[in-house]
């Protein structure tokens, strides 16, 4: 539940505080909110609807996707730019450490997540638009990618090692979305480590916090101290 003291009427509050345009269910926005929270960076969150975007959001980034972080002197309109900016500002849990160990692998991981896996996820998730065979094809291609995570999680508790790090935070929201497409099927798959990893994450106070329902800024004029 949002406390009334956390809600500000826009234009009046903290003009220098970063403003985050966000959409609760968007996995790109979720990963940005997760890392901002881990980095203890406070922002004013403006919850949007994808079907009715605020003009001022489109004005600062014509591609108009969420998340967008408006800093006093810069606009960051890619989730990974927001994440790297946050980590360069404050990384109290050293979640970036794993990224630096093998940068080539890190970049491959990100690229295959954001392109190959996300592409298959969309074609699986929105399969009413595609044929049934296509749904299964893309579900299976996505599963192949998740099986690589399963192998990693056999050897270490998290994708980033013995504590949660950047690989976990950037991928968990997408694996969650994959599960949501057909939870019964996902829970029957032979993915015990991924299932445990995902379920622990969904129950964590951090995840509960970043998934709190927010008032729609355009409709209510209310932005939330996040
Ligand atoms: N590459 C972008 C992708 C962001 C993205 O595609 N967000 C979706 C929502 S999940 C969006 O805003 N889509 C625009 C729309 O549906 O109009 C990032 O990493 O931030």
What ligand 1 atom has the least distance to the C-alpha of 51?
Answer: 17
Domain containing residue 111: 97-205
Question: How many angstroms is it from 166 CA to the middle of ligand 1?
Answer: 20
Q: Work out the pLDDT band at 14, boundaries 50, 70, 90.
A: low
pLDDT tens-digit profile of 43-93? 999 999 999 999 999 999 999 999 999 999 999 999 999 999 999 999 999
- For the chain, the domain total comes to 2
Structure-block tokens of residue 206:
């951090």
Q: Is the CB of 26 under 6 A from ligand 1?
A: yes
Question: How many angstroms is it from 154 CA to the middle of ligand 1?
Answer: 32
pTM of structure:
0.92
Q: Is the CB of 78 under 6 A from ligand 1?
A: yes
Q: Are residues 200 and 220 in the same domain?
A: no
Q: Are residues 113 and 195 in the same domain?
A: yes
Q: Is 12 exposed, middle or buried (0-12, 13-18, 19+ CB in 10 A)?
A: exposed
Average pLDDT of the residues of the chain: 92
Please check the confidence at residue 10 and state whether its pLDDT lies above 80: no
Q: Are residues 157 and 85 in the same domain?
A: no
Q: Is the CB of 76 under 6 A from ligand 1?
A: no
Q: Is the CB of 65 under 6 A from ligand 1?
A: yes
Q: Are 45 and 226 in contact (CB under 8 A)?
A: yes
The residue whose CA is least distant from atom 14 of ligand 1 is 65
- Count CB-CB contacts under 10 A for residue 19: 23
> Which pLDDT does position 130 carry in this prediction?
61
């Amino acid at each position: 539940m949002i406390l009334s003291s956390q809600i500000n009427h826009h234009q009046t509050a903290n003009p220098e505080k970063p403003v985050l345009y966000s959409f609760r269910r968007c996995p790109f926005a979720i990963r940005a909110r997760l890392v901002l929270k881990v980095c203890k960076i406070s922002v004013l969150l403006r919850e949007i609807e994808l079907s009715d975007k605020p003009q001022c959001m489109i004005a600062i980034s014509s591609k108009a996707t969420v998340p967008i972080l408006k800093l006093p002197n810069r606009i960051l309109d890619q989730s990974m730019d927001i994440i790297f900016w946050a980590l360069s500002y404050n990384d109290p849990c050293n979640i970036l450490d794993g990224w630096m160990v093998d940068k080539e692998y890190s970049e491959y991981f990100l690229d295959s997540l954001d392109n190959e896996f996300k592409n298959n996820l969309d074609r699986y998730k929105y399969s009413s638009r595609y044929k049934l065979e296509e749904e299964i094809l893309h579900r299976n291609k996505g599963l192949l990618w998740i099986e690589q995570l399963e192998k990693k999680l056999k050897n270490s508790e998290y994708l980033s090692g013995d504590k949660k790090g950047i690989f976990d935070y950037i991928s968990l929201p997408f694996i969650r979305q994959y599960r949501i497409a057909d939870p019964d099927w996902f829970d029957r798959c032979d993915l015990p480590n991924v299932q445990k990893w995902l379920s622990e994450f969904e129950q964590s106070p951090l995840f509960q916090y970043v998934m709190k329902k927010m008032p729609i800024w355009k409709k209510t004029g209310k932005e939330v101290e996040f």
